[in-house]
Structure 1
Amino acid sequence: MAQLEHFTTSVDTVVSRMRALDASLPERDGLAVFNRVYLAVTESVDRHIDRGVFSDPRAAITLDVRFAERYLAAVEAVADDRRPPACWRPLFQFRRHPGVRPLQFALAGINAHIGHDLALAVVDTCRSLGCEPADLEDEFDRVGDLLVSLEERIREDLMPGPDLLQIADPLTHLLGSWSLERARDATWTTARALWALRRLPDVAEEFTERLDTAVGFACRILLTPLPD
């Protein structure tokens, strides 16, 4: 029980850090747009943990915390004038670009966090708890289901109205090229591959670097400045 309380405190800590970040950023800042989305996700996961939705709350809490820590580490790196992972660089580079719409910032951040950070967080969690990825599959799926449902709400909140979003609008084509559900499925495969490579550190490092680069490239595409 003491161990569970320790992780519960950690969830409260990451939520507090995201709230403080939200309060410090201009509303239109691209990082602020994503941070609000991710804060809502983390608070939702926390409520589901409190309601006993997860069959293994300790695993769910550990995964939630390890996941959030990777995003917050990227934020800290930029604040300290260090380079964040490649997957996050496009968001920080374009965060104030007037031609990038709020929905693009939200989806690019989600893509970086799901496509790169979540796979590594699964491995981090397995190491912390001494378990295999298969032992986390239920928690991974439940978190993924929450993310998918929140993505729908995000699109509703940030999508231009039907009078503005026409079939020829470039944003329509960008949105049609990316799916959180597909990204989540790919992440689970990636996490299992990374875990299988844990005894081959050189190969695992190269695999992780290439993953980081590929996800960053996709984020750069999602952040293509669009005409009004």
Structure 2
Amino acid sequence: MAQSEHFTNSGDSTGTAVASGAVDTVLRRMRALDAVLPERDGIAVFNRVYLAVTEAIGRRLDTGHFPDARAAITLDVLFAERYLSVAEGGRAPACWRPLLQLRRHPGVRPLQFALCGINAHIGHDLALAVVDSCRALDCGPAALEDEFEQVGDVLVALEERIREELMPGPDLLQIADPLTHLLGAWSLERAREASWSAARALWALRGLPDLAEEFAHRLDAAVGLAGRMLLTPMPERADWPRNRP
């Protein structure tokens, strides 16, 4: 794959979004997806999660929570654009393909869909979005660390809520043992830390494009492998309510 397709900004639409600073535009695009996707579609499940995250970040921007609003908006919009380009039918990197391929699988639970999307977006897209933002703002990753951490804090808080809302209830805990074991092996906090390290490495390698591209490919493949495991179908059980999240 050419460097311009994977490691650099993800297209002209990215530059347009950043130029306008359009968090509201990002929200409109997510709401448009929510309106047309079937409720139990895997992308729809993740989209609802990400919409809630973006709304929370928007509220923080409105209240001056981010000291450097321009940096926060740039990172937020470039980050979101990588997901939206996939959800709206653009070319999908390896990390998103498991979710796209299994998005309607009846044996995959909504919580699995949500965490698979978070894995792809945090583990892969966030690292590249930091590099995109550094280029857009003409700065190094260290200048974006505060914004990175604050966005991450919103995501960690939301992950806890997702697990509470989408995990089968106490009456299904025994049935869900394989699910709890599978999902307990993945951590958003560890994914976020790895993403920051990957962003710093990619930035350090910017003068070595071939090596940077290889690193980005390996990152994409590794995150995609984790996503595939997160979507391991659960055995069908007659006593597992089909319509329960």
TM-score by length of 1: 0.93
SS of the aligned residue for 1:96 comes to coil
- Give distance in 2, aligned partners of 1:98 and 1:58: 42
Deviations 1:14-63 (A, max 9, x none): 11000000000010101100000001001111110111111111000000
Which runs of no fewer than 5 residues in structure 1 stay unpaired? none
Provide the rounded CA distance (Å) in 2 between the counterparts of 1:15 and 1:179.
26
Corresponding residue to 1:47 among 36, 50, 59: 59
- Gaps spanning 5+ residues in structure 2: where? 1-17, 238-245
Q: How does 1:17-32 map to 2 (within 5 A)?
A: 17-32=29-44
Deviations 1:57-94 (A, max 9, x none): 1000000000000001112335xxxx410000000000
Matched-pair contact (CA < 8 Å) for 1:26–1:32: yes
Cα distance change, pair 168–149 in 1 and its aligned pair in 2 (3 A): closer
SS in 2 for 1:163: helix
Is the contact made by 2:95 and 2:120 (CA closer than 8 Å) also made in structure 1? yes
Whether 2:78 is the aligned partner of 1:89: answer no
AA aligned opposite 1:195: W
TM-aligned CA deviation for residue 186 of structure 1: 0.7
Distance, in Å, in 1 between the alignment partners of 2:147 and 2:165 is 27
**Which residue does the alignment assign to 1:75?**
87
Pairing partner for 2:214 from 189, 206, 211: 206
Match of 1:58 in 2: 70
Deviation (angstroms), 1:166: 2.5
CA distance in 1, matches of 2:170, 2:150: 32
Aligned with 2:131 (options 103, 123, 127):
123
Say whether the 8 Å CA contact 1:7–1:61 is kept in structure 2: no
The equivalent of 2:46 in structure 1 is 34
Q: Which residue of 2 aligns with 1:138?
A: 146
Q: Tell me how far apart the structure 2 counterparts of residues 207 and 6 of structure 1 sit (CA, whole Å).
A: 29
1:179 corresponds to 2:187: yes
Letter matched to residue 76 of structure 2:
D
Task: Give the distance between the partners of 1:201 and 1:6, measured in 2 at CA.
Answer: 26
Partners of 2:214 and 2:19 lie apart in 1 by 33
- In 1, the alpha carbon distance for the partners of 2:114 and 2:229 equals 13
- Aligned mate of 1:192, from 179, 197, 200: 200
**DSSP-derived class of the 2:169 partner:** coil
CA drift at 1:165: 1.7
**Alpha-carbon spacing, 1:141–1:114, altered in 2? closer, same or farther (3 Å):** same
Deviation for aligned residue 1:225? 0.3
Cα deviation 1:197-220 (Å, max 9, x = unaligned): 000000000100111111000000
2:231 counterpart of 1:220: no
Asked if 1:101 is matched to 2:109, the reply is yes
